[in-house]
Amino acid sequence: MKLLQDILYKIKLLEVHGSTNVPVAALCIDSRKVEKNSAFIAIKGTVVDGHTFIAAAINKGAAIIVAEELPENKVEGVTYIKVANSHEAAAYMAHYFYDCPSEKLKLVGVTGTNGKTTVATLLYKLFSALGYSCGLISTVENKIQQTVIPASLTTPDAISLNALLHKMVNENCTHAFMECSSIAIHQHRITGLNFTGALFTNITLDHLDYHKTFEAYLKAKKSFFDNLPETAFAISNKDDKRGEVMLQNTKAKKYYYSLKTSADFKGKILDDSLTGLQMQINNTDVHFRLIGEFNAYNLLAVYGAAVCLHEEPTKVLTTLSGLTGAEGRFDYIISNKNVIGIVDYAHTPDALENVLTTLKKLKKDYQNIITVVGCGGDRDKTKRPLMAQAACDYSNKAIFTSDNPRTENPMDILADMEKGLTTAAKKKYIVIPDRRNAIEQAVKLANEGDIILIAGKGHEKYQEINGVKHPFDDKEVLNHFFNL
């Protein structure tokens, strides 16, 4: 148990009412989880404002209230602290409450629109195979060594995140690899963490429902690198047009990877097929089990990080060559009729185009591509017609269906997808709102050797409809209709 005064470092305190020489049993941002002598931090969320639950938190035993706005009527014996930013306060308090766990690990963060999960997962698998005890924080799952902890967010809230890192330290982990989403960066969930290194994959349209403008989205990603210490390394994709901009203000040591120009970590694709990638990396030839140009970039990023972490390059490449990617990222299934099924998380226009252009380039002339795709509800609407157009442009047949409609009417989402399609595209798609029926129809349409891409949900084991998560697994459904 910590004293409040010992976990308030680096926080801009505007007002303090009561004693800071009091014990803190737990940190909470959810009033329902408050216990006796907790510190309740009131955070203004996108949907719920924690300030409305201050009284409820006190009734449950909170002895400390940290908020941007304090109530007029204060309860005797409760310490109230007014701060400039509750998100930031939660991050710093959690950092110190859990004994600064990120300072006891080699922590590497990965940000970018696409590739975060694959890069973080490959780093975890690579360093585990090299003999280290590792932790993973990703969209698919969190892991402490081999123990799986289900993930609900790409990047957990600051308190959960520091608690997880603390547990990794206690379990003797030496390395931790984590995804850093733009929303998490903007909401200070990673503020106060000590990063050994950071990676940038790429940036395209995403999360504009939250950030509102692409410039704000870019700024959020860039701030991750702007705040790195001099002791850290920063690795960026030189082939992305904003790859160098991302690192222009960082104090960390800069490195770049590229397939197209000179770089610290230079790659060249020698052969790309449905059985894997043959690449040359810094003049060494190596075969990987992953496929596609987008994975060539992911592999370069992972290789670069390993070298920056002082691992022997040849050993890194040898170990990396035997690894598979993350669940729901180009997951490969072959039916007993030799139809190829691929389940992928691609949920942005750029990610979908990357997967489809790779398939189009690798397939034989007789093979058709059938794409099943939808768009999430209550999210950026501008990408819906772009996703639909990409599916039609690079597929022989597209089936538009429901993704996670959340609180939106699925038919409205599908109507948005159909807006602005070219005349050629309109001849290539059909609409089947029920996702299970859409996958079944794709299997019925496929001939021997054809490729079915089920895009958008990847590793997810549910479909969210009107606030309820119904069990649904694209891979399981595809296996069923493949009679596997």
Residue from 468, 341, 466, 456 nearest 401 by CA: 456
Can you give the pLDDT at residue 155?
77
Which CATH code fits 331-481? 3.90.190.20
Can you give the pLDDT at residue 208?
53
Name the binding residues: 31, 112-118, 154-155, 181, 187, 189, 379, 403-406, 456, 460
Return the sign of the alpha-carbon dihedral for residues 176, 92, 245, 138: positive
Going by DSSP bridges, is the β-strand pair 340-344/331-334 parallel, antiparallel, or unpaired? antiparallel
Contact between residue 400 and residue 429 where contact means Cβ atoms under 8 Å apart: yes
| Superfamily (CATH H level) for 2-93 | MurE/MurF, N-terminal domain (3.40.1390.10)
Chain centre to alpha carbon of residue 406: 19
What letter does residue 375 receive in the DSSP assignment?
Answer: -
How many Å apart are CA 66 and CA 201, to the nearest integer? Answer: 36
Can you give the pLDDT at residue 206?
54
How many Å apart are CA 64 and CA 37, to the nearest integer? Answer: 7
Three-class SS of residue 222? helix
Name the binding residues for ATP: 112-118
Low-confidence ranges of the chain (pLDDT < 70): 154, 205-212, 484
CB-based burial label for 215 (10 Å; 0-12, 13-18, 19+):
exposed
Fill in the amino acid letter for 207: H
Can you give the pLDDT at residue 210?
59
Can you give the pLDDT at residue 343?
96
Total count of residues recorded for the chain: 484
**Angle of the 116-129 helix axis to the 313-320 helix axis, nearest 10:** 110
Question: Torsions phi, psi of 83, nearest 5?
Answer: -125, 160
Domain map (residue ranges) of the chain? 2-93, 101-320, 331-481
Kindly report the pTM of this predicted structure. Answer: 0.85
Where do we find the tokens 């987008």? Answer: 294
How many Å apart are CA 20 and CA 64, to the nearest integer? Answer: 9
Name the binding residues for meso-2,6-diaminopimelate: 379, 403-406, 456, 460
Can you give the pLDDT at residue 220?
85
Question: Fold for domain 101-320?
Answer: UDP-N-acetylmuramoyl-L-alanine:D-glutamate ligase (3.40.1190)
Can you give the pLDDT at residue 484?
67
Can you give the pLDDT at residue 315?
98
Can you give the pLDDT at residue 127?
98
Can you give the pLDDT at residue 400?
98
How many Å apart are CA 295 and CA 29, to the nearest integer? Answer: 38
Residue from 339, 345, 343, 417 nearest 374 by CA: 417
